[in-house]
Amino acid sequence: MKKNNRRGSRTVILLLIAVLLPFLLTACASIKKMRYPLAYQDLISAASEEFDLPKDLLCGVIWCESRFKPDAQSSAGACGLMQMTPTTFGEVLGRLELPEDTDIFAPEQNIRCGAFYLRRLYDLYDGNWETALAAYNAGMGNVNNWLSDPRYSDDGETLKDIPYPETAAYVQKVQEAKEVYRELYPEEFE
């Protein structure tokens, strides 16, 4: 009698798992989407097209920089979705021939200027995303110093090591966030 009860209990448990698993997976994806929101798709798509950047990479940068909060401001004074410093933002405004009084917190301009700057770094560092992302986080001066130091670069073009732990973690987080966005929103990145 006990064997039949155990078998019956296992069968019920397996049936419950089979029935509940799709709901649990959906709930997990929904929770993950709450952690990795996707907003400003039109602005991201436009900047992606204009500057020939992967949309998922832009999403990864925005998530790491501001968690998609347009009013984000760092203790270092970086502002907006893509956390641009006023100095860098001003330089980009000049290159894009935009008015000096453009609002750094305006999502359209912040994403567009941040994408322009990211593309500029990508081109400057010969199409190497890791180096471009390191420069976006730590600045071109630091990255150029690292590239000229044999402790951090063997060829002067690629980084074998990033000496700032925060920057190394940032580059990794952007790449991970990029993959999460691809997984959660596949229709956006086809």
Find the catalytic residue in 49, 65, 97, 130: 65
Instruction: Judge residue 62's burial from the number of C-beta atoms within 10 Å of its C-beta, 0-12 exposed, 13-18 middle, 19 or more buried.
Output: buried
- At 124 the three-state DSSP class reads helix
65 is catalytic: yes
| Ranges assigned E (strand) in the chain | none
In the chain, DSSP finds a helix count (H) and a strand count (E) of 8, 0
Name every residue whose Cβ is closer than 8 Å to that of residue 118 and which is 6 or more positions away in sequence: 51, 53, 57, 58, 61, 82, 132, 136
Q: Which helix (H) or strand (E) holds 182?
A: helix 165-184
Residues 190 and 181: beta-carbon distance below 8 Å: no
Number of Cβ within a 10 Å radius of residue 128: 16
CA-angle at 176, arms to 48 and 50, nearest 5°: 5
Catalytically active residues, by annotation: 65
